Amino acid sequence: MSGVSGPIGAALLPLLKARGFEVTRLVRGGPAKNGQIAWDPAQPLSPESVSGFEAVVHLAGETIFGRWTEAKKRRILDSRVQGTRNLAAALANAPARPRVFVSGSAIGYYGDRGDEILRERSSSGQGFLAEVCREWEGATRAAADAGIRTVCLRIGIVLSRDGGALPKMLFPFRLGLGGNMGSGEQWWSWIHVHDLVAAIHHSIKSDLLQGPVNGVSPKPVTNAEFTKTLAAVLSRPAIFPVPAFAARAVFGQMADEMLLASQRVEPASLITSGYPFQYVDLGKALKDLLTR
């Protein structure tokens, strides 16, 4: 498994161990310790080093949060595409290939699509994130062509106390300074981190899943609904909207492609394969994360 230090990987690791998996980590830099494989995502990986595993989960990549300078965008793209391509090639040539390869992707694949309901067969959109996701998913091709069941998990807004978008929202909301982002009409497709890691485990176990899989809750909400629900859970007002121009002034291109973009995504493949979502209601998800 790669990306163990991120909020998704950190939540997935104990779940896999609790369900009987022995997990070996792909780690960057320095000599590997027991239970680890050292790798540089920008360099080819020895097929022998990744041989003999039942499943491989790949979550590593440069964080997308922060202002997107040209250098930042290059790191976002290269860390995902090069690392995935090198890992997929190693798995394809391993003496004992894994049964399944679950590789991260994102709903940024769809671009800004207004009120359109987006399922796995929906077309890709426009913009930098859509380009990244297309190349990211395309980089898994060697594994799929070698007969490895390959899942590209298109992850939405992950709700976690330990990283991602939610902790960044809490400070202004707890001060009573929260509000809609732009018009508030854009759709935000979210998922509780516990559902996401359980869905990854489900993807490992279920032979019904292959290709793109939307990792989101069945009930996306508009940004205005998200704002109202978060404020209610925190018992705070939410009366200070952030105008679109202000978001763009602070975050640049990231504001247009993430904060202000509308992606109304449905997890059709997870539902069809029988995954039982625990957190369908946003209020329940936020209460679980913020009040216990």
- Coil, strand, or helix at residue 104? strand
Give the residue with greater pLDDT, 97 vs 66.
Answer: 97
State the CB neighbour count (10 A cutoff) for residue 66: 12
- Coil, strand, or helix at residue 142? helix
pLDDT at 58 over 90: yes
Using DSSP bridges, classify how beta strands 36-39 and 25-28 pair: parallel, antiparallel or unpaired. parallel
Average pLDDT over residues 193-218: 98
pLDDT band at residue 66, thresholds of 50, 70 and 90?
Answer: confident
Q: pLDDT at position 36, please?
A: 92
> What is the rounded CA–CA span in Å between residue 83 and residue 26?
11
pLDDT at 292 over 80: no
Phi/psi at 241 (nearest 5 deg)?
Answer: -65, 150
pTM for this entry = 0.95
By the 8 A CB rule, do 67 and 252 touch?
yes
> What is the rounded CA–CA span in Å between residue 232 and residue 238?
9
Q: pLDDT at position 226, please?
A: 97
pLDDT at 30 over 70: no
Average pLDDT over residues 175-204: 96
Q: For the domain covering 7-290, report its CATH number.
A: 3.40.50.720
pLDDT at 186 over 80: yes
By the 8 A CB rule, do 79 and 60 touch?
yes
Q: And the tokens for 148?
A: 């490895």
pLDDT band at residue 274, thresholds of 50, 70 and 90?
Answer: very high
pLDDT at 29 over 80: no
Mean residue pLDDT of the chain comes to 95
H helical segments located in the chain: 7-18, 70-92, 128-138, 141-145, 165-174, 193-205, 223-234, 244-251, 253-254, 268-272, 282-290
pLDDT for 32-49, tens place per residue?
788 899 999 999 999 999
By the 8 A CB rule, do 11 and 160 touch?
yes
pLDDT band at residue 220, thresholds of 50, 70 and 90?
Answer: very high
Average pLDDT over residues 96-123: 98
By the 8 A CB rule, do 107 and 118 touch?
yes
Measured at the CA of 188, the angle between CA 132 and CA 107, to 5 degrees, comes to 25
Q: pLDDT at position 14, please?
A: 95
Place of tokens 């796995």: 120
Q: For the chain, first and last CA: distance in Å? A: 29
